[in-house]
Structure 1
Amino acid sequence: MAQVDALVETLKSALKSHNLKYRDVAQAMELSEASIKRLFSSRTFSLQQIQQVCLMMGMEISDLVQLMVERQARLQELSEEQEEEIVRDPGFLIITVCVLNRWTLEDMLRHYTFTEHECVQKLARLDRLKIIELLPKNRIKLLVAPNFSWRKNGPIQRFFLSTIEKELFQAQFDKPDHRLVVLNGMLSPQSNGELQKKIERLAREFDQLNNADAGLALPERQGYTLVLALRNWQYEQLFKYRRM
Structure 2
Amino acid sequence: MAETSSIVTTLKRELKAHGLTYKDVSKALNIAESSVKRLFADKDFSLKRLDQICQLMNMEISDLLQKMEQDKRLISQLTLEQESLLVSDHKLLLVAVCVANRWTYDDILDVYQFSEHELVRLLAALDKFKLIELQPNNRVKLLLSTDFSWIKNGPINRFFDAEVQSNFFNSRFTGPGEARLFVTGMLSRASNEIMIRRMERLAQEFRQFNEEDQELPLDERFGSSIMIAMRPWELTVFEAFRKDNSKRF
Which TM-score applies when normalising by structure 2? 0.92
Distance 1:231 1:70 in 2: 39
SS in 1 for 2:207: helix
Distance 1:182 1:11 in 2: 37
Distance 2:34 2:151 in 1: 36
Residue number in structure 1 paired with 2:84: 84
Residue number in structure 2 paired with 1:3: 3
> Which amino acid in structure 2 is aligned with residue 36 of structure 1?
V
Distance 1:84 1:19 in 2: 39
Distance 2:240 2:101 in 1: 46
Distance 2:63 2:88 in 1: 42
- The count of residues paired between Structure 1 and Structure 2 equals 244
Residue number in structure 1 paired with 2:125: 125
Q: Shift of the alpha carbon at 1:3?
A: 2.5
> Which amino acid in structure 2 is aligned with residue 157 of structure 1?
N
Structure-to-structure mapping, 1:5-154, within 5 angstroms: 5-154=5-154
Distance 1:13 1:240 in 2: 52
Q: Shift of the alpha carbon at 1:89?
A: 0.7
Distance 2:230 2:118 in 1: 40
Distance 1:169 1:9 in 2: 33
Distance 1:5 1:183 in 2: 33
Query: Which runs of 5 or more structure 2 residues have no equivalent in the other structure?
Result: 245-249
Q: Identity over aligned residues, as a percent?
A: 44
SS in 1 for 2:140: strand
Query: Which runs of 5 or more structure 1 residues have no equivalent in the other structure?
Result: none
**Which moved further from structure 2: 203-212 or 33-42?**
33-42
**Which moved further from structure 2: 183-192 or 1-10?**
183-192
Q: Shift of the alpha carbon at 1:57?
A: 2.0
SS in 2 for 1:66: helix
Distance 2:7 2:196 in 1: 23
Q: Shift of the alpha carbon at 1:107?
A: 1.1
**Which moved further from structure 2: 31-40 or 121-130?**
31-40
SS in 2 for 1:140: strand
Deviations 1:143-197 (A, max 9, x none): 0001111110000000000000000001011124111111223333333332222
Alignment of 1:155 onto 2:155: yes
> Which amino acid in structure 1 is aligned with residue 158 of structure 2?
R
Distance 2:200 2:243 in 1: 36
> Which amino acid in structure 1 is aligned with residue 146 of structure 2?
P
> Aligned-residue CA RMSD in angstroms?
1.6
**Which moved further from structure 2: 110-119 or 196-205?**
196-205
Residue number in structure 1 paired with 2:195: 195
Q: Shift of the alpha carbon at 1:65?
A: 2.2
Deviations 1:55-79 (A, max 9, x none): 2223232322222222122100001
> Which amino acid in structure 2 is aligned with residue 170 of structure 1?
N
Distance 1:51 1:191 in 2: 40
SS in 2 for 1:15: helix
Distance 1:90 1:128 in 2: 17
> Which amino acid in structure 1 is aligned with residue 161 of structure 2?
L
Distance 2:3 2:175 in 1: 39
Distance 2:164 2:29 in 1: 46
Distance 1:197 1:38 in 2: 18
SS in 1 for 2:181: coil
Residue number in structure 2 paired with 1:175: 175
Which TM-score applies when normalising by structure 1? 0.94
